[in-house]
Each structure stands twice: as structure tokens, then as C-alpha cells.
């Protein structure tokens, strides 16, 4: 039996060497325990149901059932289970498809073991995670995000000003650029960004942008 205080992870990848490497890397992390391995999407679904890991570390390019569909099936059966995509696919459509299927985070295989451990902890704690290497691609691919408009979905608990700031964060603007756009001081923008992250329960700007996209806060 494993330590109940550790995050139990199921690793899903069709390359044995990758599975072994990930298992070895995570073996050195005190609060993470690899509880199982799977080499294809169908096995991932079955083992997620039987092993009930806290986090499924899921590749996309899998035999029998790809990682997007496997994630979708796992979320349908176990909606509270966390799924972190770990792949070499950088295309915008893959990132968006993964989140649409219910993934809680998206990492590239170029990520360091330390950053991967941080991503696992983040999604386990309920935050969204998007690899910075693909964040710009996704956000730049939606130039209409944050342009305003009369038909705006639910805004969670954000104020009007916080909503405006978040829209510009989604566009990829820095605090200084947002301050210039809204004619406010950089310190005021910094305070708004901090309040936004607190309300969205995320730890950085990238995660705030991802959560906004997933929640449908802006028209695309």
C-alpha cells in the first residue's frame, strides 16, 4: 500500500522507455507515487477505473484509443479524476481538443522533471496548467479573445475591472502594457491580477488565462 499523503499517478505512454524514464524521474519526488502504467488508451481507461489514481499522466498519440478520447472517457466515468497531458504535440488544435475533453493541464515532453512534478501538484490541487511553450500559440490563435462585446458569458465572481484586466491577460499583454491600455498604474494592475488569481484559484497568469478559456468567459 502506498502513502495516502502522496499523489498517486498513472503514467500512460506507448513507448516503454518513456514510461520507464517518467517512473524513474518521479521515484525521486517525495510526494508523488507512480501507481500504474499503461501503453494504450483503452488500458488507460480501464486502469484509471480500477486503480483510481489522483492524476493520469496522458500522452496523446496512443494506439487503440488516442489520449484525447481516452481522457474524454475517463472524465465521463470519473469526472473528478485529474488528467495531465504530456505529449510532443504542440498544435493549437491538440491543446484545445485536450481541454475540451476535460484535461486539467497540458505539458510538452521537453518539460523538466521538476516542472512536471509542479504541474502534477497543480492539477491535483485543482488548478489548470498550460506549458508556457504552447501558451503563446494558443492565445495568439484566438485574437478575438478579450475584445469585449455585448454577449459575454458568466464572469464568476470577477468585478467589471477585473474582467477587463483578465481579457488583456488572455491576449498576452504584460502588466505594464495593460496599465497603458487601461490608463491605470502598474501597481493597480498588479493588484487586480493578484485578486483575479485568488478568485480563480490559480497560481500564475498562464493558468488564469487557461481557466478563462475553459470556463467560456470570452467568445472565440
* Listed residue (68, 74, 19) closest to 48, CA to CA: 74
Give the orientation angle of helix 67-77 with respect to helix 92-100, to 10 degrees. Answer: 20
Cβ-contact 11, 116 below 8 angstroms: no
The reported pLDDT for the residue numbered 151 is: 35
The angle at the Cα of 54, spanning 84 to 130, to the nearest 5 degrees, equals 20
Q: Tell me the pLDDT tens digit for each residue of 116-143.
A: 999 999 889 887 788 877 776 665 554 4
H helix intervals, the chain: 16-27, 41-51, 67-77, 92-100, 113-124, 132-140, 160-170, 175-182, 186-200, 205-214
- Quote the CA–CA distance of 179 and 207 in Å, as a whole number: 20
| Orientation angle between helical segments 16-27 and 113-124, nearest 10 degrees | 80
Confirm if 145 and 220 have CB atoms less than 8 A apart.
yes
> For residues 104 and 129, is the Cβ–Cβ distance under 8 A?
yes
Q: According to the model, what pLDDT value does residue 146 have? A: 36
Would the pTM count as exceeding 0.85?
no
Q: Which residues of the chain have pLDDT under 70?
A: 1-4, 136-156, 214-220
CATH code that applies to domain 7-132: 3.40.50.2300
CATH classification code of 142-214: 1.10.10.10
Return the residue matching grid coordinates 500500500.
Answer: 1
pLDDT at residue 152, as a whole number = 40
Query: What distance in Å separates the CA atoms of residue 26 and residue 3, rounded to the nearest whole number?
Result: 15
Q: Domain boundaries in the chain?
A: 7-132, 142-214
DSSP secondary structure, 159-173, as one string = -HHHHHHHHHHHTT-
Look at residue 139 in the predicted model and tell me its pLDDT.
57
Amino acid at each position: 500500500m502506498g502513502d495516502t499523503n502522496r499523489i498517486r499517478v498513472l503514467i500512460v505512454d506507448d513507448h516503454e522507455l518513456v514510461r520507464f524514464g517518467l517512473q524513474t524521474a518521479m521515484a525521486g519526488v517525495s510526494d508523488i507515487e507512480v501507481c500504474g502504467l499503461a501503453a494504450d488508451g483503452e488500458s488507460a481507461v480501464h486502469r484509471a477505473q480500477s486503480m483510481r489514481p489522483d492524476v493520469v499522466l496522458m500522452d496523446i498519440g496512443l494506439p487503440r484509443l488516442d489520449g484525447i478520447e481516452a481522457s474524454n472517457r475517463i472524465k465521463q466515468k470519473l469526472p473528478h479524476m485529474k488528467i495531465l497531458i504530456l505529449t510532443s504535440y504542440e498544435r493549437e488544435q491538440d491543446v484545445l481538443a485536450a481541454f475540451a475533453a476535460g484535461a486539467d493541464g497540458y505539458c510538452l515532453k521537453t518539460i523538466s522533471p521538476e516542472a512536471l512534478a509542479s504541474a502534477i501538484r497543480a492539477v491535483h490541487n485543482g488548478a489548470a496548467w498550460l506549458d508556457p511553450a504552447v501558451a503563446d500559440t494558443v492565445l495568439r490563435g484566438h485574437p478575438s479573445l478579450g475584445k469585449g462585446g455585448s454577449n459575454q458569458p458568466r464572469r464568476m465572481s470577477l468585478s467589471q475591472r477585473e474582467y477587463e484586466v483578465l481579457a488583456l491577460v488572455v491576449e498576452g499583454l504584460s502588466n505594464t502594457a495593460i496599465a497603458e491600455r487601461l490608463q491605470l498604474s502598474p501597481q493597480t494592475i498588479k493588484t487586480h491580477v493578484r485578486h483575479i488569481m485568488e478568485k480563480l484559484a490559480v497560481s500564475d497568469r498562464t493558468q488564469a488565462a487557461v481557466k478563462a478559456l475553459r470556463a467560456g468567459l470570452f467568445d472565440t
